[in-house]
């Protein structure tokens, strides 16, 4: 099924079935700036109106060939002509919106390898636009797959409730280096401006499943179809330059097996699992500490606490983990029954901040230190103070032993501050 055609994208209807494409990722030919060596090509030698008209026709055909759940991602930029900026991205949006495409988002692709100078009246160009369109309102978009666990502020340690266990949500600025000549090995890239592999990989991850069809009507050096193949997707493409096509096919043949192995090994990385576990551990521990503080404000003093992960079912849709809490209540709280205290606890956890932690909690109360100690499990316990639940106490004492837990967290914030 997968193939890059040595053909003009304007012949798309002759090669690709209606409603078969899951995602299109492309960068159209530059307008009248680069000669790709083919007569009647889109861009070079055309008027601006003819150029936009041809793009509209191509992306109308792409629209017809796309599934209702499909999407379109276009990397495109402004340019200067006759001393003034031409807003090509916005003209492009206007023209292809007439064909049915719905603009969903505008991403800024920040490039860290650009021409190191600027001209009068213009700053140095360090970004391009990535326009994200959908065919319908039911488009595929798996934001949870592309969350970031690197370059987080150190605040995630003290405020784990603010961070999704799967990582930081994507932002509207994406930073990827421009591939350099030969960066794919053996001098492979000789294209005017190839797309970064990581950018294409992110879009494929966000908008497709394995086995889906990825398309690029202007394939160039083949970044899009190659990444589709490396991620167990099908692909179609069009390319007018036979040299580019031959380079792509040779590169794919030489690298497909190893890149597939790498992809399969990285579907879920150890780092992602470790980060998720740390966020959940931190939330369960901090939940208990914040609860005790809120209870004290209500006149109920918690002397000590034990907490652990629980296998109880989750209570709410957005809960991420369950925690079991044993609370040692100060004996002078005799005016309140256990039922009264549980009522207060339920009131506290039903509102922010604790309602935002995503913890399904179960509570057991004790009013006697000896009974509390007997209820503790025999396995190794880690002890935390009243003020710190991200680093267990190395030398416990009567003054710093507040939370006892089977959960071991020992995070040095300075490491995260110093490596940013």
371 Rama sector, left if φ>0, alpha if ψ -120 to 50, beta otherwise: alpha
For residue 40, the model assigns a pLDDT of 67
pLDDT at 196 over 80: yes
CATH 3.50.50.60 describes domain 3-267: no
The domain spans of the chain are 3-267, 271-418
What DSSP letter does each residue of 194-245 carry, written as one string? PPPHHHHHHHHHHH--TT-EEEESS-TTTHHHHHHHHTT-EEEEE-S-HHHH
When pLDDT is cut at 50, 70 and 90, the band that residue 419 belongs to is very low
Q: What is the CA radius of gyration of the chain?
A: 29
DSSP-assigned letter for residue 177:
P
The pLDDT tens digits for 23-71 are 999 999 887 655 555 666 686 668 899 999 999 999 999 999 999 999 9
Q: What is the pLDDT of residues 97-130, one digit of tens each?
A: 999 999 999 999 998 655 554 566 667 778 999 9
Helices (runs of H) and strands (runs of E) counted in the chain: 10, 15
Residue 420 banded pLDDT, cuts 50, 70, 90 = very low
Residue 109, pLDDT score: 95
Share of the chain above pLDDT 70, in %: 87
């Amino acid at each position: 099924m997968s193939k890059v055609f040595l053909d003009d994208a304007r012949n798309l209807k002759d090669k690709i079935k209606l409603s078969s494409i899951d995602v299109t990722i492309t960068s159209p030919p530059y307008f009248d700036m680069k000669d790709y060596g083919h007569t009647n090509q889109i861009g070079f030698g055309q008027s601006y109106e003819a150029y936009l008209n041809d793009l509209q026709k191509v992306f109308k055909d792409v629209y017809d060939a796309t599934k209702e759940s499909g999407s379109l991602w276009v990397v495109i930029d402004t340019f200067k002509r006759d001393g003034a900026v031409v807003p090509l991205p916005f003209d492009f949006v206007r023209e292809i919106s007439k064909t049915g495409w719905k603009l969903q988002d505008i991403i800024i692709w920040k490039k860290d390898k650009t021409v190191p100078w600027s001209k009068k009246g213009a700053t140095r160009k360090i970004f391009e636009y990535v326009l994200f369109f959908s065919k319908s309102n039911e488009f595929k978009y798996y934001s949870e797959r592309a969350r970031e666990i690197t370059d987080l502020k150190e605040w995630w340690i003290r405020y784990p409730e603010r961070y999704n266990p799967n990582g930081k949500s994507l932002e509207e600025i994406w930073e990827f280096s421009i591939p350099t000549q030969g960066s794919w090995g053996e001098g492979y890239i000789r294209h005017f401006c190839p797309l970064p592999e990581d950018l294409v990989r992110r879009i494929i991850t966000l908008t497709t499943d394995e086995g889906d069809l990825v398309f690029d009507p202007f394939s160039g050096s083949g970044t899009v179809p190659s990444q589709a193949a490396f991620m167990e997707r099908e692909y179609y493409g069009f390319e007018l330059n036979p040299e580019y096509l031959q380079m792509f096919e040779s590169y794919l043949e030489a690298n497909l097996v190893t890149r597939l192995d790498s992809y399969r090994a990285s579907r879920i990385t150890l780092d992602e699992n470790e980060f998720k576990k740390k966020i959940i551990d931190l939330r369960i521990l901090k939940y208990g500490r914040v609860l005790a503080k809120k209870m004290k404000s209500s006149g109920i003093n918690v002397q000590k606490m034990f907490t652990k992960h629980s296998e109880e079912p989750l209570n709410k849709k957005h809960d991420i983990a369950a925690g079991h809490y044993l609370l040692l209540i100060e004996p002078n709280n005799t005016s309140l029954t256990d039922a009264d205290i549980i009522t207060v606890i339920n009131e506290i956890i039903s509102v922010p901040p604790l309602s935002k932690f995503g913890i399904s909690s179960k509570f057991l109360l004790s009013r006697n230190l000896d009974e509390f100690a007997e209820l503790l499990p025999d396995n190794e316990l880690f002890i935390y103070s009243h003020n710190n639940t991200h680093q267990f106490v190395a030398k416990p004492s009567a003054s710093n032993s507040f939370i006892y837990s089977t959960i071991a967290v020992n995070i040095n914030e300075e490491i995260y501050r110093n490596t940013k």
